[in-house]
Chains A and B, each alone.
Chain A
Amino acid sequence: MASAVMNATTVALDWLSSSFDAPLARAVIFGVHVDGHLVVEVLLIVVILFLLSRKSYKHPKKPLTEKEIDELCEDWVPEPLHPPITEEMLSEPPTLESAAGTHTMIDGKEVVNFACANYLGLIGHEKLINSCASSLEKYGVGSCGPRGFYGTIDVHLDCEERISKFLGTSDSVLYSYGISTIFSVIPAFCKKGDIIVADEGVHWGVQNGLYLSRSTVVYFKHNDMASLESTLERITKGNKRAERLRRYIVVEAVYQNSGQVAPLDVIVKLKERYHFRVILDESNSFGVLGSSGRGLSEHCGVPINKIDIITSGLGGALATDGGFCTGSVRVVDHQRLSSSGYVFSASLPPYLASAAISAIDHLEENPSLLGQLRENISLLRRELEDVPGLTVSSSPLSPMVFLTLKRSTGSPKADQQLLEDITNRALKEDGVFIVTSKRSTLDRCRLPIGIRLFVSAGHTHGDILKASASLKRVAAAALSEPI
């Protein structure tokens, strides 16, 4: 039985091999005898190569059916639009009943006002109000259109010329809101791939501009020039590509979050060494620093054309609203088409532009205001040296005197409550209106909060003494109580 099967198999195999070999028995290719088995081997190699070249088997994806999508949509529960309302969200700021000058009315009582950035005391000034009134009669209130579409009134052009004449630059651009100036200027110049080195204490407007620009942002320690230098060195060292990119340093002249003043001469030296452009925000220093109020560049003795882009809000010393940006002709021209806050927004109301012109005129005619302001600042700082529990942490030049807690309670929330307690008491008991610095949830600045006093050239000695006495008394009372 077995041998029969064996015989049959042998016969079959012999037949198979003979049928393969026979047709090619006399084939000789390239001097090699081609036998039948070579054909089989070649076929096998082809199949192997074919299988290797195919992708590995993946489980086929099945799209969701309509019913499944319906179920998912029904199951999904969105978060509410707002988080639960807490106690602190309900607090309302005090309501003013008169102009926000050095003395103002709150709840029927007259209080000394240290909460408004009225640095030159121009709120309520007759000249300003008269020019605004005539402007209102002539132009109405709003400008009813963006700058490109009949929203440009001749006062806007006059104001831009006046500002650039005052500062000594070639041209300037007027924006309709202080905070939108910086967050429109930065994305107009910095695009994806550019490098920006910014101070970590810049305010929200600058942070938003940096985020919208989609450039690479590197922060350096607040107002620390050594940190700035090492950052610049780190970025440019050995980095050939960095030379072809646009590079910017963004700083503020007087920082809103801390009252520190940036050392512009050091920054300009660094910028020239490493070939960076400087964007300077002068919202709290325009009309304040410098012998004639032209800002930080005049104060540090730096020629204004060394700073590439200067922006500022007009809501400080000039007692109006809006903002401007100035620089070389190239810088200014570029913004007229590519700065979103300029192109896509209605222009500044004409009466505010004429107020700005009168304010600058007044400042040029009366530079003694600056001396008055400086005297007030130093008097206040002297008086506040011995406030219990608080220390003056702003620069001696800053018109915004910043007080921080000597010893923090440990949690930022408790600090905030303590400071607000102090300011509320000062307002209610002594009629002195001061404020704490508040942080939005979107703000990424981590500098300590504190109490801010905005000094004005219009404050009298009496006002300042009253404020410091009140603060000393209230701070002592608030800190001695257990929290």
Chain B
Amino acid sequence: MVRLPYFIALTTLFSYVLIFTIGRLRDLFRTLVDFYRPKSEGDQGYAPICLGLEDFYSRRLYRRIQDCFGRPLAGAPDTWIDVVDRHSNDSNKTIQRTADTRRCLNLGSYNYLGFAASDEYCTPRVVDCLKKYSPSTCSVRVDGGTTKLHAELEDLVARFVGKPAAVIFGMGYATNSSIIPVLTGKGGLIISDSLNHNSIVNGARGSGAVVRVFQHNTPLHLEEVLREQVAAGQPRTHRPWKKIIVIVEGIYSMEGEICKLPEIVAVCKKYKAYTYLDEAHSIGAVGKSGRGVCELLGVDPADVDVMMGTFTKSFGSCGGYIAASKEIIQYLKYACPAHLYATSMSPPAVEQVICAMKVISGEDGSNRGAVKLARIRENSNFFRSQLQKMGLQVLGDNDSPIMPIMLYNPSKIPAFSRECLKQNVAVVTVAFPATPLLLARARICISASHTREDLIRGLKVISEVGDLVGIKYFPVEPEKHLAESGGAMVD
């Protein structure tokens, strides 16, 4: 739940209406011009690729601020990055790269534990592995794609997470999209959090089960939905459901909030529903030894039926995993399409995860892992408290390394992004469709490799740009409680 002052809500709405109207006017002119221009040979008789308003947002809104997204890097996505300068000759319709780069502080990449670039323990081992196993096995896991490394990593992941067995895949997105249809099909019910990631939504849709949504992170509403659904049964036939799966995420990537796992698990146990936890952003990043939200909130991993995670964020690699009981994993290995039809994970990437996990759990013989985990917690809490002191509206819970700063107004999105880039700080701004239309935000991701000086520099720049752009909605501490009481609540 986000509270915004009425004035801000009105101005944001007004801006969108203005942009929309101008966009429609331009579309009107385009239709008139096209009417008089002869149609090109190849398109005769074919329906256009995008009809009507389908790509209106892309053409008339997104394109104007296209330079704020997709900025290419000329090096590793480390703490300091080389952002390639780009320019456009036709007001952002097309953008070209130049040969110049600028060195910026990276506040946008998912590099929670600092494994992104070359690491002193991991990289030599990864290069050795590359020379031995080649960049790819060119085969699916059930054919010739299983190497010793894959088996080792599955064991390691299972031990790390605290479950009996695990299976790994080459892409986190494909993990969700192909596991959920295997776990439940027609006749089942999936109850998912309203702000779940697109991969979960796609997996749920692809399964053929009925999908219901509960209010974001509200265990009471989940209980209500469960009671209603179990009592009512399947729609129209009212037969009892075959099984019910509740899907939640550990840390929500657009809100920075940590899931209320103990309450949700308690509710699911009471109503005999299965829990599926997606720890894409929380594995390795939270918890005293990096074991994720279960460790942080004191939930026994045995209480969560299926735990999913990705290796992209905290381990500096690619791919995803599922950890569950031995029987479920055996069944998944037999039936999951991503295991049977998709190329197995690239061996150097597997080696990177193995090395990263060894560092985090201290098995490499040093205490770098513990240092990294302590640093990321310290950095996140410091940064968040400083941002709040400045008067910015920051979402998310303590200990979470993701900090969305609310912008709201569509014109502040490019303003914030470009001004920060001018001062050599790279931030990520997110708008529709990843967030609701009125709630655009800038999202900061803190890393364990950020030093105190880096963070202070980042804070200085954000404060200056914040003043310039006008996003300090809740002025400094003493007046804060007055402003909050007069605000409007938006879900």
Query: Pick the contact of B144 from A96, A191, A351, A439 — CB < 8 Å?
Result: A96
C-alpha gap A153/B76 in the complex (Å): 8
Instruction: Assess whether B199 is interfacial by the CB under 8 Å rule.
Output: yes
Contact between B109 and A73, CB atoms less than 8 A apart: no
Among the stretches B22-30, B42-50, B364-372, B385-393, the one at the interface with A is B42-50
Contact between A133 and B131, CB atoms less than 8 A apart: yes
Query: Pick the contact of A115 from B143, B182, B335, B341 — CB < 8 Å?
Result: B143
A334 touching B49 in the complex, CB below 8 Å, given contacts A115-B144, A150-B428: yes
Query: Pick the contact of A142 from B50, B173, B274, B316 — CB < 8 Å?
Result: B316
CB of B264, distance to nearest CB on chain A (Å): 17
Instruction: Assess whether A238 is interfacial by the CB under 8 Å rule.
Output: no
| A 350-369 to B, binary, CB cutoff 8 A, 1 in contact else 0 | 01100100000000000000
Contact between B316 and A321, CB atoms less than 8 A apart: no
Instruction: Assess whether B6 is interfacial by the CB under 8 Å rule.
Output: no
Query: Pick the contact of A95 from B74, B147, B333 — CB < 8 Å?
Result: B147
C-alpha gap A446/B123 in the complex (Å): 45
Instruction: Assess whether B409 is interfacial by the CB under 8 Å rule.
Output: no
| B 45-77 to A, binary, CB cutoff 8 A, 1 in contact else 0 | 111111100110010001000000111111111
CB of B90, distance to nearest CB on chain A (Å): 14
Q: What chain B residues lie within 8 Å of A294 (beta carbons)?
A: none
Contact between B342 and A142, CB atoms less than 8 A apart: no
Among the stretches B110-118, B290-298, B461-469, the one at the interface with A is B110-118
Q: What chain A residues lie within 8 Å of B45 (beta carbons)?
A: 243, 275
A76 touching B318 in the complex, CB below 8 Å, given contacts A95-B151, A138-B76, A153-B73: no
Instruction: Assess whether A118 is interfacial by the CB under 8 Å rule.
Output: yes
C-alpha gap A468/B463 in the complex (Å): 72
Contact between B47 and A247, CB atoms less than 8 A apart: yes
Contact between B49 and A321, CB atoms less than 8 A apart: no
Total count of chain B residues near the partner, CB < 8 A: 121
Query: Pick the contact of B206 from A191, A208, A343 — CB < 8 Å?
Result: A208
Query: Pick the contact of A246 from B47, B77, B141, B142 — CB < 8 Å?
Result: B47
C-alpha gap A321/B319 in the complex (Å): 12
C-alpha gap A191/B42 in the complex (Å): 22
Instruction: Assess whether A372 is interfacial by the CB under 8 Å rule.
Output: no
Closest to A356 in B: B135
Query: Pick the contact of B134 from A81, A99, A141 — CB < 8 Å?
Result: A99
Contact between A96 and B173, CB atoms less than 8 A apart: no
Query: Pick the contact of B138 from A95, A148, A319, A442 — CB < 8 Å?
Result: A319
Q: What chain B residues lie within 8 Å of A321 (beta carbons)?
A: 135-136, 170, 343, 346
Contact between A315 and B77, CB atoms less than 8 A apart: no
Closest to A139 in B: B76
C-alpha gap A88/B331 in the complex (Å): 10
Contact between A78 and B274, CB atoms less than 8 A apart: yes
Closest to A157 in B: B72
Contact between A96 and B342, CB atoms less than 8 A apart: no
Q: Kindly identify, within residues 199 to 246 of chain B, every residue whose CB is under 8 Å from any CB belonging to chain A.
A: 199, 202, 205-206, 226-228, 230-231, 240-244
Q: Kindly identify, within residues 87 to 142 of chain A, every residue whose CB is under 8 Å from any CB belonging to chain B.
A: 88-90, 92-101, 104, 113, 115-118, 123-124, 128-129, 132-133, 136-142
Instruction: Assess whether A41 is interfacial by the CB under 8 Å rule.
Output: no
A116 touching B139 in the complex, CB below 8 Å, given contacts A150-B428, A151-B77, A152-B72: yes
C-alpha gap A439/B202 in the complex (Å): 22
| B 103-136 to A, binary, CB cutoff 8 A, 1 in contact else 0 | 0001011110001111100110011001111111
Among the stretches B255-263, B306-314, B481-489, the one at the interface with A is B306-314
Q: What chain A residues lie within 8 Å of B315 (beta carbons)?
A: 142
CB of B138, distance to nearest CB on chain A (Å): 5
Contact between B126 and A212, CB atoms less than 8 A apart: no
C-alpha gap A349/B117 in the complex (Å): 12
Instruction: Assess whether A58 is interfacial by the CB under 8 Å rule.
Output: no
Contact between A96 and B148, CB atoms less than 8 A apart: yes
Contact between B206 and A152, CB atoms less than 8 A apart: no
A144 touching B313 in the complex, CB below 8 Å, given contacts A138-B76, A344-B197: yes
Q: What chain A residues lie within 8 Å of B333 (beta carbons)?
A: 89
C-alpha gap A204/B177 in the complex (Å): 12
Contact between A142 and B312, CB atoms less than 8 A apart: yes
Query: Pick the contact of A330 from B49, B97, B130, B171 — CB < 8 Å?
Result: B49
Instruction: Assess whether A166 is interfacial by the CB under 8 Å rule.
Output: no
C-alpha gap A137/B122 in the complex (Å): 11
Query: Could you say which of A64, A144, A246, A346 has the most chain B C-beta atoms within 10 Å of its C-beta?
Result: A144
Instruction: Assess whether B181 is interfacial by the CB under 8 Å rule.
Output: yes
C-alpha gap A212/B134 in the complex (Å): 34
Instruction: Assess whether A164 is interfacial by the CB under 8 Å rule.
Output: no
Q: What chain A residues lie within 8 Å of B199 (beta carbons)?
A: 340, 344-345
Instruction: Assess whether B404 is interfacial by the CB under 8 Å rule.
Output: no
Contact between A150 and B71, CB atoms less than 8 A apart: yes
C-alpha gap A400/B158 in the complex (Å): 35
A89 touching B334 in the complex, CB below 8 Å, given contacts A152-B73, A352-B346: yes
Instruction: Assess whether B337 is interfacial by the CB under 8 Å rule.
Output: yes
| A 404-424 to B, binary, CB cutoff 8 A, 1 in contact else 0 | 000000000000000000000
Contact between B108 and A149, CB atoms less than 8 A apart: yes
Total count of chain A residues near the partner, CB < 8 A: 115
C-alpha gap A82/B228 in the complex (Å): 25
A440 touching B97 in the complex, CB below 8 Å, given contacts A96-B144, A100-B137, A337-B58: no
Contact between A129 and B131, CB atoms less than 8 A apart: yes
Contact between B227 and A144, CB atoms less than 8 A apart: no
Closest to A147 in B: B70
Closest to B101 in A: A154
C-alpha gap A76/B231 in the complex (Å): 9
A151 touching B109 in the complex, CB below 8 Å, given contacts A95-B151, A243-B47: yes
Instruction: Assess whether A290 is interfacial by the CB under 8 Å rule.
Output: no
A344 touching B173 in the complex, CB below 8 Å, given contacts A76-B230, A133-B127, A144-B316: yes
Contact between A138 and B75, CB atoms less than 8 A apart: yes
Q: What chain B residues lie within 8 Å of A256 (beta carbons)?
A: 341
C-alpha gap A80/B338 in the complex (Å): 22
Q: What chain B residues lie within 8 Å of A179 (beta carbons)?
A: 174, 337-338, 341-343
A137 touching B127 in the complex, CB below 8 Å, given contacts A76-B272, A142-B317, A351-B348: yes
C-alpha gap A73/B110 in the complex (Å): 42
Instruction: Assess whether A481 is interfacial by the CB under 8 Å rule.
Output: no
Contact between A244 and B47, CB atoms less than 8 A apart: yes
Closest to B227 in A: A69
Query: Could you say which of B76, B199, B328, B352 has the most chain A C-beta atoms within 10 Å of its C-beta?
Result: B76
A319 touching B75 in the complex, CB below 8 Å, given contacts A113-B144, A136-B126: no
Q: What chain B residues lie within 8 Å of A293 (beta carbons)?
A: none
Q: What chain B residues lie within 8 Å of A326 (beta carbons)?
A: none
Q: Kindly identify, within residues 335 to 371 of chain B, every residue whose CB is under 8 Å from any CB belonging to chain A.
A: 335-338, 340-343, 346, 348-349, 352
Additional A-B contacts beyond A152-B73, A340-B173, A441-B335 (11; CB < 8 A): A72-B230, A96-B148, A139-B75, A142-B116, A145-B77, A153-B74, A204-B340, A246-B46, A337-B55, A344-B173, A442-B182
A-B CB contact pairs (8 Å), 7 listed? A89-B333, A93-B145, A100-B133, A149-B109, A149-B428, A177-B171, A345-B172
